[in-house]
Amino acid sequence: MSFTLVLGGARSGKSRHAEALVARYPAPWTYIATAEAWDDEMRARIAEHRARRGAEWITLEAPLDLPAILAGAGSRPVLVDCLTLWLTNLMLGERDIAAAAAALGGTLETRTAPTVLVANEVGLGIVPDNALARRFRDAAGRLNQDLAARAASVHFIAAGLPLVLKGEP
Amino acid sequence: MSFTLVLGGARSGKSRHAEALVARYPAPWTYIATAEAWDDEMRARIAEHRARRGAEWITLEAPLDLPAILAGAGSRPVLVDCLTLWLTNLMLGERDIAAAAAALGGTLETRTAPTVLVANEVGLGIVPDNALARRFRDAAGRLNQDLAARAASVHFIAAGLPLVLKGEP
Amino acid sequence: MSFTLVLGGARSGKSRHAEALVARYPAPWTYIATAEAWDDEMRARIAEHRARRGAEWITLEAPLDLPAILAGAGSRPVLVDCLTLWLTNLMLGERDIAAAAAALGGTLETRTAPTVLVANEVGLGIVPDNALARRFRDAAGRLNQDLAARAASVHFIAAGLPLVLKGEP
């Protein structure tokens, strides 16, 4: 197990940074998208990201079954973008988050190919008014901590610039 | 006066990091809790934190009178968790925040035993809709700046990983 | 083009840090304010900032026409505080944000005098409920990324303490 976790805020350039990390390895690269296009805003954002990536990327969709899809990627370099949307999907789908996180951990443990995971940092604003948002914030924070502890490298991105919290640049 | 300030977002692992800093010194350690268990969500969070700490921690409660309680801790190593909840309690109780912050500063100045203060960073999201949240955000930012200027060390925690903003790791 | 970008949250001490960077150069210094005093809260904040700066600062107001005002500052050291309020004004005034950002980039390219730009990081909280706030967050993140890529130095400020993301301290 030797993956990199890329953390950052909204529009921080974390996806672009993560793509560059994966592109250090020979193509083809696998892009595992967790986003679901449930409205126009999300469709536009997905299309924009997809247009930026070239034909050397194979896109797989994993709104819920991330551990299994990641396991299926085998020895190809993989980018998972992003864990926070996956967590959103799990919560909206009323899945067992602890079990899903454990399954992801299990899959990561068996992978030997380059793996980069993108996640949002969402805990640096005011306490949200509604209880669901607070539960989400707690779950996202716990998942980030858990993965950061196991990751070989952790990069925090602000305004497109990386800050190495752990491991290699 | 030579205290450490540990800053971080919600569920960033800042309490755990701060506990480890205090536990570098011989037990017993004093844990000064500022949280009030005014609902089930908060009760659960307090119980979870308390369960993680062992029997070597003496817990004192200081939802409002933090300066006096901290003064009473004498020569034992102390962890204050957290300043941002203390500020919330002061605002909800309509206390004089400037006077309370000055009293805290006075107490810190006289302490010679190891002291670690935990605070939330809450200013990195969108401007909140309601005026009270904006006032709270301003007050929290001012308190953090003021204490960071006086602290011997300041650590920023993201996903459980510390970043040294000032002083020693 | 060789400007410094100072990023930070609300009440992080970013203005104070930026003022100190500009004050390394001989006075007089030009302060370009983008804030509009449309309510008492904002008026109080503007007055507080202005009181802190001394008589060696020449204040210009540029709620919308920042590129032109900045161009007019000539060879004097300039502080722009802040880009995020400018972006707010552009959005509320339904201006063309991409064109305005390009004009700002053009002005920066021709400047040779010391220039420090202040901007807010607003993307590290929970996803905002309303679509306008999400669009604003996206636009602010894009502008920060774009300017950070061109800046000679980028400082991130937390609790008044700078973290160098790029370039010189």
Query: How far is Cα A124 from Cα A134, in angstroms, rounded to an integer?
Result: 12
Pick from B95-104, C40-49, C78-87, C130-139: least confident: C40-49
Average pLDDT over residues B89-114: 96
CB B125 within 8 A of CB A126: yes
Residue B79 has pLDDT above 90, yes or no: yes
Q: Give the H or E element holding residue B166.
A: strand B161-166
Sheet of strand A153-158: strand arrangement: A57-61, A29-33, A78-81, A115-120, A3-8, A153-158, A161-166
CB contacts, 8 Å: A8 with chain C = 123
Pair type for strands B29-33 and B57-61:
parallel
Q: What amino acid occupies position A165? A: L
First to last CA, chain A: 18
Band (pLDDT 50/70/90 cuts) for residue B1 is low
Closest CB to C161 among B124, B140, B148: B148
CB atoms within 10 A of CB C96: 10
CATH at residue B16: 3.40.50.300
* Residue among A105, A121, A107 at smallest CA distance from A163: A121
Catalytic: which of C25, C37, C49, C137?
C49
Band (pLDDT 50/70/90 cuts) for residue B86 is very high
CB contacts, 8 Å: C142 with chain A = 11
ipTM score of complex: 0.92
Nearest CA in chain A to B120: A124
**Sequence-distant (≥ 6) Cβ neighbours of residue C41 within 8 angstroms:** B131, B134
Residue A1, pLDDT score: 62
| Burial letters B85-123, b for 16+ CB under 10 A, else e | bbbbbbeeeeeeeeebbebbeebbeebeebbbbbbbbbb
Residue A59, pLDDT score: 93
Average pLDDT over residues C75-82: 96
C151 compared with A44, residue with greater pLDDT = C151
CB C1 within 8 A of CB C29: no
3 state DSSP class of C121: coil
Distance of alpha carbon A13 from the chain centroid: 13
pLDDT string in tens for chain A (169-residue length): 689 999 999 999 999 999 999 999 999 999 999 998 778 888 888 888 788 888 899 999 999 999 999 999 999 999 999 999 999 999 999 999 999 999 999 999 999 999 999 999 999 999 998 999 999 999 999 999 999 999 999 999 999 999 999 998 9
The phi, psi pair for A156, rounded to 5°, reads: -105, 130
Give yes or no for a cis peptide into C82 (omega within 30° of 0): yes
Q: Touching B: which chains, 3+ CB pairs < 8 A?
A: A, C
Residue C37 has pLDDT above 80, yes or no: no
Residue A14, pLDDT score: 97
Catalytic: which of B16, B49, B142, B150?
B49
Model confidence over B5-60: pLDDT tens digits? 999 999 999 999 999 999 999 999 999 999 987 788 888 888 887 888 888 999 99
Is some CB atom of chain C closer than 8 A to the CB atom of B147? yes
Residue range of the domain that includes B46: 4-166
Band (pLDDT 50/70/90 cuts) for residue C61 is very high
Residue C1 has pLDDT above 70, yes or no: no
Q: List B161's β-bridge partners, or say none.
A: B158
E strands present in C71-135: 78-81, 115-120
Q: How many domains does chain B have?
A: 1
Q: Which residue intervals of chain B are DSSP H helices? A: 14-22, 40-52, 66-72, 83-92, 97-110, 131-150
Residue C53, pLDDT score: 84
